Chain A
Amino acid sequence: MNIVVCVKQIPDPAAPQSLDASHNLNRSGKLILDEADTYGVEMALQLVDKAGAGEVTVVSMGSAADVAGLRNALAMGAAKAVIVSDDALRGTDALGTAKVLAAVIKRESPDLVLTATESSDGYTGTTPVQLAELLGLPSITFAKSVSIDGTTLKVERQTESGYDEVTAPLPALVTVTAGVVEPRYASFKGIMAAKSKPLEVLSVADLALGDQTGATGARQEITDVVTAESRASGEKYVDEGDGAQRIVGFLESIKVL
C-alpha cells in the first residue's frame, strides 16, 4: 500500500495576513504545515500500517526556502517528500496546482492519494477533485472515516444531512476532513530520523507543463481588492449576574421575544 498525501506549507493562520502588490497572499514569513493536512498524513500512516507494507510519500508545491512543514510530515512517519518549488509558479491557480501535483504523483503511481478538503489559506476547495480527474481516478470527498478492504476503498462521506457510505476501487483519491483521525505528535526519534529522509526539490521545468502554470496559466485576474463594509460593534456589558436578563431585554427589543 503506497500512499501519496498532498500537503501545503502555509503562513501561520494565527498571524496577520496580507496581500502583496500583485494580489498574491504574502508568504514571506514563517511557513507551517497546514493543520488540515496532518489528518491525511496520519490516515495514510495508519492505512500503510494496517496493510503491513508500503510507504507514505508527501507531495507539495510552494517555496522550498522553508521546509519545516515537510520535515514535520516526515517526522510523523512519512518516508519521503517531494516539493515543486519555482518562482515561475507564483500566481498559479487551483487547476494549475492540480496539474503540477498530477505530474509528480504520476511518477509515484500510488494505490491511494489523500488530501485535505481544502487548504486553510486559499480554500479554493477544488484542487483535489481536479487532481483526481487529471490522474484518471475516482474520488470520494469529505471523508469522515476511511478503511480499505482488499482493493476496495470504504469511506463514510459527510452530507448535508448526515453521511453516506461510499465505496470505490483502488487506486483512488480521498479528501479527508479534520477529525477523521487524531494526528500524532512527532516523537523525538521521528524528528531526528526526518533529518536524513529524502526530500526532493523539483523545478517546474522538470515537469514539462509549458505555460499552464503561474499567473498566465491561471487565466483569471483580480480586478480590485476593497475593504468590506464593516459591522459596527454595539453595546457590551460585563456580566455581574445580570447578563442573562440583559440578553432577554435585547431579544425583546428586537422582537424575538
Chain B
Amino acid sequence: MGYLIEHPDRVFELTKQHVELVAISVAFAMLIGIPVGVLITRLRWLEGPIIGTAGILYTVPSLALFAIMIPYTGLGRTTVVVALALYSLLAIVRNTVAGIDGVPPAALDAARGMGMTGRQRLFIIELPLALPVILAGVRIATVAAIGIATVAAVVGVGGLGRLIFDGMRTLNTDRILAGAIVSSLLALLADWGLAWLGGYLRRDIALARLER
C-alpha cells in the first residue's frame, strides 16, 4: 500500500487513463454490439456466424491480439481501443439477443395490436424490457475490459498496467499491488454502478419514447 499513499497523484493519473480506455472501448462496443444484437433478432440466420466470430475473437489471448494488431493500428490507443471493443462485443451482442428474446410475446402482440409501429415496439417495449439483460452484458464486458486493459500498458498507452509492468521490471511488489488493487476496485465499482443504472432507467426511457 505504500506506493498508493506516497504517489497518489501518479496513481490517480494512471487510473484516469485506465477508465478512459475502458469507457471509450465499451462505448464503441455498445454502439456496434446493441444494433447488431437487434439485427440478429430480426434476421435470425445471422446469429450463428456473428456470435461464432465474436466467440472466436474472445478466445484470442489479449497479448497476442495486441501483437497481431500493432502492424495495422500502430503502437498506441487505437490498438487498445479496437482490441478491448472486440473483446466486449461478445457479451453485449449475446445479451442484447437474449434480452429481446426474453420479452413476453403477449406484450409484443398487444403492442402490435394497439397500433405501435415496428420502431415504437423496439424502443418502447423491446429495448426497455431487455435493458437489464443488455446492461448485465455491458457489466461483464466492462469488468473484463478493466482487467484486460492492464495488459495494454505493453503498447505504451499508460493505465494501471503501467504500475504492474514497472513493478515487475523493478521487482517492486508495492507497485504491482497498487495497480492490481485499484484495478479491482474499479471493476467492482463499475459492476455496482451499472447494476444500479439498469433498474433506474428502463421505465423512464420507455415513457419518454411513447410520447414522441
User: Does chain A bind chain B?
Assistant: no
